Amino acid sequence: MLEIRGLRAWYGNVQALHGIDINLKKRELVTLIGSNGAGKSTTLKSITGLLKKRSGHILFEGEDISFYSPARILQAGIALAPEGRWIFSDLTVEENLRMGAFTRPRDSLEGALEEQFELFPILKERRGQKGGTLSGGEQQMLAISRALMARPKLLLLDEPSLGLAPMMVRTVFSLIKNINAAGTSVLLVEQNSAMALSIADRGYVLSTGRIALAETAASLLSDTKVREVYLGGYANGDGI
């Protein structure tokens, strides 16, 4: 479904990605893990067309989307819940959700909203509340839900566990697992590698802009070398 070949990316003259290859099959939940500054967000910004200075190829369902605009990539079926969530704090929960569907035909919007309220009952309860007044966990759910409003085939998640209490992390990760089980493919970027690997099918370990390892989630999870060399231990999570 998604095929990234030889992706290189730059910020000015500084190269952040040095030729990475990633594949994701339809319905898979793939995680991209690695420490801070490894290039995880840069990879997602490249897929969604937000970062222009790059080379290599990004194919989605056989189509080369490498040079599509962000809006066209969203229309093609790829939506991102960005790092730091980027909730509109002065807009209500419902208004935030409606923003996620801006590429959709108007008549499908109410249906998409109802779907989201079914998946996230807490957001229905808080639909009239300003985004900025939600708890961290609720804001993360809103960011994911807003991305789903576009009814993507592939959902990209950038560090959904960031800044959340352990119990909320578990809640958010089971939601991600459910979203994937319901048919949406997921590329999950995380520093919390133990949690990410516990719900993923496969994982890629990114280290200073290069793919260091690509394995099934189970084998990465049991590999002590991975733990010590690339991930600095699993102290930040204990899995579901």
Ligand X SMILES: Nc1ncnc2c1ncn2[C@@H]1O[C@H](COP(=O)(O)OP(=O)(O)O)[C@@H](O)[C@H]1O
- Interface contacts to Mg ion, rule CB under 5 A: 40-41, 83
Q: Quick check: 232 binds ligand X (CB under 6 A)?
A: no
Asked if residues 36 and 24 have their Cβ atoms less than 8 Å apart, the reply is no
Give the footprint of ligand X on residues 145-184 (CB under 6 A).
none
Choose the stretch contacting ligand X; rule: CB under 6 A; options: 35-43, 56-64, 97-105, 210-218. Answer: 35-43
The interface partner of residue 145, options being ligand X, Mg ion, none and the CB cut-off 5 to 8 Å by kind, is none
Beta carbon of residue 159, minimum distance to Mg ion (angstroms, whole number): 6
Q: Quick check: 40 binds ligand X (CB under 6 A)?
A: yes
**What whole-number distance in Å separates Cα of residue 8 and Cα of residue 51?**
11
Number of residues that bind ligand X (CB under 6 A): 11
Q: Quick check: 38 binds ligand X (CB under 6 A)?
A: yes
Q: Quick check: 16 binds ligand X (CB under 6 A)?
A: yes
Asked if residues 33 and 196 have their Cβ atoms less than 8 Å apart, the reply is yes
For binding to ligand X (CB under 6 A), which residues are involved? Answer: 11, 14, 16, 34, 36-42
